[in-house]
Structure 1
Amino acid sequence: MPSYRKSAQVDMTHGSVLGRAALFALPICAGNILQLLYSTVDTLVIGNFCDTTALASVATSSQPLEILLCVFVGIGSGISILVSQAVGRADHDQLQKLVRTSVWLLFAASLPLTVIGFLLGPWMLRLMQVPADAMPGAVLYLRITMLGILGNMGYNFNAGLLRGIGNSSSSLLLLFISCAANIVLDLVLTGALGLGIGGVAAATAITLFLSWICSIFYIRRRCTELALPVLPCGFDAGTLRQIVRIGLPLGLNSALYSIGHVFLQALYNLQGSVFVAGCSVAGKVGGLANITVTSLSQATSVFAGQNLGAQDYRRLRKGGWMIPAASGLLSLAGGLLMAACCRPLLLFTQDEAVLTFAVRYIRVVLPFQWCYAAFNAIMSFANGMGEIRYSTIVNIILLWGVRIPASYLLAWLGYGGYAMAGVSFSFVVGLLAMLFYYKSHAWADICAHAEAQESSK
């Protein structure tokens, strides 16, 4: 057995498909809860120690950072996919090349991004039509959090390496440390010292670096077979091309998605700070329903990559429909429950006007979350197979062809307060579109290889 299997917590090439996927997804699920707690604490602190304008400032300042990071977060996902395929093939040399190249890429990309984001961030916020009362706080929050880009990307790259080798449990420990640090810093800087938005932003930036540093120590101590360097020590050109070939389309897809959300945020901003704050609060509750989606989607991608590397097409055919179906069913149950019982969960503000919009958002969007869960798992399966084009096209269509036009149409018709219904509509269309993957040549090839493997037994 290759040495890197020692640190792999879950071997996705053997055992029950759903059992292995669940075993891999559970630590990610717990980690997502911690991440949600991480952002929820920010919202709670701002909502209770600041005012509604501060809440809107933080809510509107995240999109520019997402746009700048999403290309490289996509590349990080590409690294994870290639690592999982190398693990499936038991290709230790390629695994080493991927690790070295990812560290080089981290430093080559993050430092210029920090400068660009710090300078262009305010311009992007003006383009988003941020309400005038929320603009100063949004600029302050954005510029401070931009200083944490290296830590943000570093942690996500390292987490991708760990997921690729099947180790999803270690991220839980790292997230627990960062979440605890963020809570303490939030309460000290904003609650005790009264630094307001600047205190929350500083706590976030510091915690991002702490997460990255802890992930380096963990990998170098517990996953020595990866030989993770702290600083860049060269890269392999062929491996870099592979990372770009897989990760760049994922990143551009995310970039187009984030830019689309800027247009949506601009529409939300036109409805006023109260509407923006309500949608932000609802997003925290919606994040609870989204935990299963994200966890099983990451499990699906690693499952596809490892079994493709192992050339187990029978298992690929089985998992390709079982995991998306399970994700959809779990999300349906969670979404309906939260839509019915959302009011007790809205602890982030006491403003009745904000709560009214938050409840509306939850009841319009969450009952359709299961569609997103199912089609996102199918997309993750295709991505894990290295088939990026189809999912990229579907993502672009459902956002730019469905969600944005539907939301703006509702606002034009005088229903701006229900603009979030465009999100629900896009979930349904996205599921219908991704179901056609099962009619594609790629899926037909999987089925053909699976039948050949069955007949050869």
Structure 2
Amino acid sequence: MKSDYLTSKPAFYALFVFSLPIIIGNLFQQLYTMVDSAVVGRFVGEQALAAVGASYSLTVVFICVAIGGGVGSSVIVSKYFGARNFSVMKTAVSTAFLTFLGISVFLGAVGIVINRPLLVLLKTPSDALDMALVYLRIYFLGLPFLFMYNVISSMFNAIGNSRIPLVFLIFSSVLNVALDFLFVAVFKTGVAGAAWATLIAQGLSCVLSFAVFMRTLGKFKDSEDGVEAAEETSDGAVLMSGGASFSGGGARRYGKLARGGYRKFRFFDGRELSSMAKIAIPSILQQSTVSIGMMLVQSVVNSFGSEALAGYSAFSRIASIAIVPMAALNNSMSSYTAQNIGAGKPERVVKGYRAANLMVAFFAVTLCLCIEIFYRPLISLFIGDGGSETALRTGQAALRFEGFFYCWIGFKMACDGLLRGAGDMKVFTLANLINLSIRVVVSVVCAPRFGIEWVWYSVPMGWFMNFVISFAEYRTGNWKKRL
């Protein structure tokens, strides 16, 4: 398939073809996090599962920085790709790689130093604290691999190739699962074995995917696509050498990007870093504040003891898989929107948004039915036959309740992806901060007084308000004017 299919094929088809590998890949990525928990819970014990769960709430903060930065910077790369401006696109890619490599090394060192104070601050149960520390120290050693792998995957998506990240996710997931069973079940290395399995699998996948991406990037050359032959006519339209033309706002956007093709490749460019920062920083802020909010929510759950924490950890793992299709559509809409705006085709963005919502409705109904039928064996997969009644009851109650509301997170993610792809970051950030605030306030205020159930009652409240705000901004049409 041609590399420009996001800007040329019918909207539903283009989004489906682009999203499907991301969905499958993310499912495999979530698979090995599930296996970490399931293997540890069954072969080490309930306290070990609680330790991994307590660690997860902290590691998510760093994961979200990587994902937010990768997706945010890939928006700029997508726009250059849509405009066929490959020399500047390569400069943006190189700038992003160097920037996030430095950030990941710094954050990994910080994480190793402050992991104990943070776990204590989060009220991690005392019988799970030492194991959580062991898991985190190994995890932070591999943080640069995690960062760079997520950024590389985002860059593949930016150039319309979501299939190559799928291959490496499958490779990483299968290797991680095999190493989990080898280290934990056979060699009896406990939570440390699960952490080392993740580090080794992600490290190999990062190195291999980087090599393939650099080879792929070398195939794109401005001179072969006629970007340098773009010229502006007397009426302000942009005429490409291949005969395509753009006028009005599309011409201004496309012409500006096309004329950038005269700039030579540079390993690092402050102008491109500035452009990416305008998208990436709000995206990182949104991802990070949400994950920090989840840490605060986690501290509420921790106060109910290790049994309730184990049940909630099992639910969280399943929920993270359930929202994979919605998260994939979020990233897909960002790349789809950015490429089509870069190509001067904003009318295709509206068609793509409608197609994304149809996909959300299908996924939400399917997920709800599956959860209502299989919630017992799903939770038991993590807790095991010898799990406590409190852990089982907590996990099952949370999973059944949230299953009815996945449509809201899907609708909000589709709209958020459009706004981010268009560079409309103020409302995007505001909506997600309000989402976070609702979830944190309701959990912190209500759960200690009325029961742990209010931790998951707060979730659809935040999703719904986020969607209302983002959709209102979409309806104004302001997102069309952000570039």
Is TM > 0.5 for Structure 1 vs Structure 2?
Answer: yes
Kindly tell me the number of residue pairs found equivalent between the two proteins: 435
Distance 1:328 1:358, change over 3 A: same
Q: Are 2:305 and 1:268 equivalent residues in the alignment?
A: no
Question: For residues 216 and 25 of structure 1, what CA distance do their matches in structure 2 show?
Answer: 21
Question: For residues 121 and 476 of structure 2, what CA distance do their matches in structure 1 show?
Answer: 39
- Shift in Å, 1:412: 3.7
| 2:458 counterpart letter in structure 1 | G
Distance 1:432 1:220, change over 3 A: closer
Equivalent residues in 2 for 1:377-392, closer than 5 Å: 377-392=414-429
Question: For residues 443 and 101 of structure 1, what CA distance do their matches in structure 2 show?
Answer: 26
Question: For residues 234 and 83 of structure 1, what CA distance do their matches in structure 2 show?
Answer: 15
Q: What does residue 199 of structure 2 align with?
A: 205
Equivalent residues in 2 for 1:403-442, closer than 5 Å: 403-442=439-478
Distance 1:171 1:68, change over 3 A: closer
Q: What does residue 144 of structure 1 align with?
A: 138
| Identical counterparts, % of pairs | 27
Task: Deviation per CA, 1:35-71: give whole Å up to 9, x if none.
Answer: 1211111112101111111001001112333324533
Q: Are 2:399 and 1:362 equivalent residues in the alignment?
A: yes
SS of residue in 1 equivalent to 2:103 = helix
Question: For residues 445 and 76 of structure 1, what CA distance do their matches in structure 2 show?
Answer: 24
Contact 1:152 1:208 survives alignment (8 Å): yes
Greater mean deviation of Cα atoms: 141-150 or 75-84:
75-84
Question: For residues 13 and 294 of structure 2, what CA distance do their matches in structure 1 show?
Answer: 35
| 1:355 counterpart letter in structure 2 | L
Contact 2:431 2:465 survives alignment (8 Å): no
Equivalent residues in 2 for 1:115-130, closer than 5 Å: 115-130=109-124
Task: Deviation per CA, 1:93-147: give whole Å up to 9, x if none.
Answer: 1111012212211332121211111001111111111111111111111111000
Residue 372 of structure 1, aligned match among 394, 409, 421: 409
Question: For residues 113 and 297 of structure 2, what CA distance do their matches in structure 1 show?
Answer: 23
Q: What does residue 340 of structure 2 align with?
A: 307
Question: For residues 11 and 190 of structure 2, what CA distance do their matches in structure 1 show?
Answer: 47
Q: Mark the structure with the bigger radius of gyration.
A: 2
Q: What does residue 382 of structure 2 align with?
A: 348
Q: What does residue 371 of structure 2 align with?
A: 338
Q: Gaps (5+ residues) in structure 2?
A: 222-265
Q: Gaps (5+ residues) in structure 1?
A: 228-232, 447-457
Question: For residues 192 and 443 of structure 1, what CA distance do their matches in structure 2 show?
Answer: 54
Question: For residues 269 and 431 of structure 2, what CA distance do their matches in structure 1 show?
Answer: 32
- Shift in Å, 1:445: 5.7
Question: For residues 299 and 203 of structure 1, what CA distance do their matches in structure 2 show?
Answer: 29
Aligned-residue CA RMSD in angstroms?
2.1
Residue 257 of structure 1, aligned match among 272, 281, 290: 290
Q: What does residue 290 of structure 1 align with?
A: 323
SS of residue in 1 equivalent to 2:203 = helix
Q: Are 2:46 and 1:52 equivalent residues in the alignment?
A: yes
Contact 1:289 1:331 survives alignment (8 Å): no
SS of residue in 2 equivalent to 1:90 = coil
- Shift in Å, 1:439: 3.2
State TM-score, norm by structure 1.
Answer: 0.90
Equivalent residues in 2 for 1:26-65, closer than 5 Å: 26-65=20-59
- Shift in Å, 1:409: 3.2
Q: Are 2:359 and 1:322 equivalent residues in the alignment?
A: no
Contact 1:250 1:392 survives alignment (8 Å): yes
| 2:120 counterpart letter in structure 1 | R
Contact 1:33 1:291 survives alignment (8 Å): yes
Contact 2:70 2:151 survives alignment (8 Å): yes
| 2:309 counterpart letter in structure 1 | V
Q: What does residue 262 of structure 2 align with?
A: none
Q: What does residue 255 of structure 2 align with?
A: none
- Shift in Å, 1:360: 0.3
Q: Are 2:149 and 1:155 equivalent residues in the alignment?
A: yes
Contact 1:219 1:226 survives alignment (8 Å): no
Question: For residues 388 and 454 of structure 2, what CA distance do their matches in structure 1 show?
Answer: 17
Contact 2:82 2:338 survives alignment (8 Å): yes
Question: For residues 475 and 329 of structure 2, what CA distance do their matches in structure 1 show?
Answer: 23
Distance 1:357 1:12, change over 3 A: same
Q: Are 2:126 and 1:132 equivalent residues in the alignment?
A: yes
Q: Are 2:62 and 1:71 equivalent residues in the alignment?
A: no
Q: What does residue 455 of structure 1 align with?
A: none
SS of residue in 1 equivalent to 2:323 = helix
| 1:348 counterpart letter in structure 2 | F
